[in-house]
Structure 1
Amino acid sequence: MPELVVLLSELCIMTGFSDKQRRNFKPMKAMGEHTRVSAGDRMRKRLQFAGRFYACPTALEEIERWDLKLADNLIEFQGRAESLLLRNKQPIQSGEEADWTRNLRTVPMYNKVKVDKPAQEVGQMSIVGKGMSVVINSKVFAIPDDRNNSYISEIENVHVWELFKWNLIKLEKLFVKLCTL
């Protein structure tokens, strides 16, 4: 029977760039040249892909088996850049490039919310989780900030301690068995 596995991005061990690497401007700029492709380049690459695809008889055979096809051209339509409404109904414009990131850096999106009783919140999550057959452990661990490394460090500390306790229990059971022989 398949098992439900839920992965929370903040709680997964990260791979890729470390914080130190992300702060290094030159490699990040070089990476951006490959990941931030202009709309024109993206269109050109899409059309080149379709051309290569249709030139390959094996690929055509496979796609026909699935009763699919690639369009010869891109779909064109008129659109407009959306305005985002943030805190206090303050609109943020994206400009011609449809890029909101510059404006989002300086404007708070929501009012701050302070959770005074985290244990109470965990209790509520536990109650809600039971209804969905999700068991939530009520242990609370303090994390100094919301950086990924802080989450990872605390998870690793807790995991090491849990492994230690588990092995200690096994050793105690073994000792009890040896003493009763």
Structure 2
Amino acid sequence: MSIYTYQADTITGKTVSLEQYKGKVVIIANTASKCGFTPQYADLQKLYEQYKDQGLEILGFPSNQFGEQEPGENSDVQSFCQLNYGVTFPLFAKTDVRDETAHPLFNYLTTEAPFNGFDTAEASGKMLSAFLTEKLPHFLDGDSIKWNFTKFLIDREGNVVKRFESTDEPLSMKADIEKLL
């Protein structure tokens, strides 16, 4: 199996096969417009601009499953991303990424790249871990997505190479991206 097995709806409602990204290095991220990690859109866009001509694609999947931080319609999400962060990488329709309603793609991603904890040496990792432990301890069970802006790096054959948690800054992925390009 690979990500190419899956289909998803774009933010404009068109169903596409992820097979169209065959031969590309791909980052898949679950996103939200009203999250403390929302500024990561800017760095994801920087990565996209820097590496797209070498074969990088970034696929954003907005989700409203974490603190209802993606409340708008798909058109609202698209406008927000373009106006505030200049996002030009592909965005998909609002998608559930955890629990029983999770899109099968995200079940696959989390099976292939299990949760290895947050880097609690970093302030953001310590804060997110403490928040989830106190308020949503069931979110820490298993390998599911823990919060917005979990990022998965995929190789040119569609295989999951590495998982980056919400607290991992997108620009920290550069060395791993360059190895695959």
Indicate whether the TM-score tops 0.5. Answer: no
Larger RCO, structures 1/2 (Cα 8 Å, 6+ apart): 2
Higher helix share: 1
Name the structure with the higher strand share: 2
The structure with more radius of gyration: 1
TM-score w.r.t. structure 1 length? 0.19
Task: Give the TM-score normalised by structure 2.
Answer: 0.19
